């Protein structure tokens, strides 16, 4: 019960957005990026050699040496590079091939970078000291002027421009616990099947994916210069099509008259072997991207996404609750107890909506009476 409360409470009040802005390319900023990534790689190599992820140990081993070797590099940025190196190793599970590129994005904290979105002023630490810039902030970012800045990254893009990403955090008003909830089941045959009976077939998506897979296979086996040029032109088309499709679909779903949307938590779904063809289809499906797009569009409208346990949603009867593998036969569901007959994905979406409602009721019952000032204290305890 405590796990559900912790997740849902944070989801209620906090949301983050990324404000992307351009910066002029200057030598001081480029040198800062290059040296930062070089120092970050030093920490990665040392952590792998010592087989440790302790920040204090890495600080004792490398800080004084780096200060002597790079006299102009700010000490606060050394700590940022150390922290980022440790987090990269944690994310890659101590992979020996972990390495930062020379032009990879670097991270700043509140000491090394100050951003004022409303006035458009930026103060940033570089190898040549503190530099100030005037940012051009588009009008559509004005709603984030009152939000709190939580993180800043700076990187070099392909077209030779610097990109400043500012992570801002704001609070949202939670919807009423009595609001309607829509269950959404994601699958291969039906990309989405919703508990209100609406669904979208995956026929078009699968046809386009097969088309690009066939083209890549033929061109790669050919190996000529013209084939390689064609492959370069095809690069990214399938990815852009899928992202556009997810954008349009998530926008249509968020426009429906529901305050809550329940989805399955599909983390780790690619684990397990079910045949070469099925594994390829499953690994090439953009479940997480769709969830991310749906979540940020829902938050903009004051709506909430709820993640539920995906186990047995396709085998459980949404009417009587009887769960058995024999209830489902391919795309059809028929309960062995109450003889309810439904499309299998429709039955799963209703089960998802029921679990989402139960999670909301549980979170509301366990939620204490707090003021806005008390929220930060409760979040730290959770």
Q: Residues 243-279: pLDDT tens digits?
A: 999 999 999 999 999 999 999 988 876 666 666 676 6
Looking at per-residue pLDDT, the higher value among 272 and 374 belongs to 272
Domain identity same for 194 and 333: yes
Element housing 212 (H / E):
helix 203-222
**Lowest pLDDT segment from 295-304, 344-353, 363-372:** 363-372
Both tokens of 176, joined, read 């009423």
Q: In this model, does residue 377 exceed pLDDT 50? A: no
Q: Residues 24-50: pLDDT tens digits?
A: 888 899 999 999 999 999 999 999 999
Find the domain containing 329 and state its range: 181-205+245-381
Domain count, the chain: 2
Task: Tell whether 10 is covered by a domain.
Answer: no
Q: In this model, does residue 60 exceed pLDDT 80? A: yes
% of the chain residues with pLDDT over 70: 85
Strands 304-308 and 260-264: parallel
With bands split at pLDDT 50, 70 and 90, how would you rate the model's confidence at 296?
confident
**Lowest pLDDT segment from 14-23, 92-101, 204-213, 267-276:** 267-276
Task: Tell whether 211 is covered by a domain.
Answer: no
Domain identity same for 199 and 166: no
* Three-state DSSP class for residue 228: helix
Looking at per-residue pLDDT, the higher value among 107 and 277 belongs to 107
Locus of tokens 């983050």: 16
How many whole angstroms separate alpha carbon 135 and alpha carbon 152? 14
**Lowest pLDDT segment from 72-86, 100-114, 165-179, 235-249:** 165-179
Domain identity same for 29 and 156: yes
How many whole angstroms separate alpha carbon 113 and alpha carbon 245? 37
Domain identity same for 254 and 117: no
Q: In this model, does residue 158 exceed pLDDT 80? A: no
Domain identity same for 147 and 185: no
Q: Residues 320-358: pLDDT tens digits?
A: 989 999 999 888 999 999 898 989 999 999 999 999 988
Domain identity same for 165 and 198: no
- The contacts of residue 50 (CB under 8 Å, 6+ apart) are 57, 58, 61
Task: Tell whether 345 is covered by a domain.
Answer: yes
Task: Give residue 380's pLDDT.
Answer: 47
Task: Give residue 375's pLDDT.
Answer: 42
Domain identity same for 150 and 194: no
Domain identity same for 264 and 157: no
pTM of the model: 0.73
What's the CATH number where 276 sits?
3.30.420
How many whole angstroms separate alpha carbon 374 and alpha carbon 9? 13
Across the chain, mean pLDDT equals: 85
Task: Tell whether 2 is covered by a domain.
Answer: no
Domain identity same for 304 and 344: yes
Task: Give residue 156's pLDDT.
Answer: 87
How many whole angstroms separate alpha carbon 53 and alpha carbon 76? 19
Domain identity same for 160 and 301: no
Task: Give residue 40's pLDDT.
Answer: 95
Domain identity same for 294 and 149: no
């Amino acid at each position: 019960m405590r796990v559900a409360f912790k997740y849902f409470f944070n989801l209620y009040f906090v949301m983050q957005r990324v404000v992307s802005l351009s910066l002029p390319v200057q030598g001081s900023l480029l040198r800062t990026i290059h040296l930062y990534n070089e120092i970050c790689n030093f920490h990665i190599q040392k952590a792998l050699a010592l087989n440790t992820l302790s920040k204090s140990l890495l600080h004792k081993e490398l800080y004084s040496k780096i200060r002597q070797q790079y006299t102009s590099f700010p000490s606060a940025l050394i700590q940022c590079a150390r922290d980022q190196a440790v987090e990269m190793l944690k994310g890659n599970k101590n992979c020996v091939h972990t390495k930062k590129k020379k032009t990879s994005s670097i991270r700043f904290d509140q000491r090394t970078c100050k951003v004022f979105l409303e006035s458009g002023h930026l103060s940033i630490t570089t190898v040549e000291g503190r530099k100030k810039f005037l940012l051009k902030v588009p009008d559509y970012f004005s709603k984030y002027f009152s939000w709190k800045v939580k993180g800043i990254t700076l990187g070099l893009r392909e077209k030779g421009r610097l990109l400043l990403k500012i992570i801002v955090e704001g609070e949202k008003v939670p919807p009423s616990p009595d609001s309607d909830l829509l269950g959404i089941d994601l699958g291969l045959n039906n990309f989405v099947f919703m508990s209100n009976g609406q669904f979208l077939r995956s026929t078009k998506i699968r046809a386009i994916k097969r088309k690009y897979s066939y083209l890549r296979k033929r061109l790669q086996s050919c190996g000529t210069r013209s084939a390689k040029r064609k492959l370069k032109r095809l690069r990214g088309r399938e990815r852009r099509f899928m992202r556009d499709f997810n954008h349009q679909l998530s926008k249509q779903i968020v426009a429906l008259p529901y305050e809550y949307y329940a989805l399955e938590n599909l983390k780790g779904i690619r684990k397990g072997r079910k045949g070469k063809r099925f594994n390829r289809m499953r690994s090439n499906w953009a479940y997480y991207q769709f969830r991310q797009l749906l979540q940020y569009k829902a938050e903009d409208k004051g709506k909430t996404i709820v993640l539920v346990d995906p186990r047995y949603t396709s085998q459980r009867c949404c009417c009587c609750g009887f769960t058995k593998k024999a209830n489902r036969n391919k795309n059809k569901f028929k309960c062995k107890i109450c003889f309810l007959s439904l499309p299998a994905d429709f039955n799963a979406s209703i089960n998802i909506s029921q679990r989402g409602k139960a999670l909301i009721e549980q979170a509301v019952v366990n939620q204490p009476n707090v003021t806005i000032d008390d929220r930060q204290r409760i979040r730290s305890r959770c």
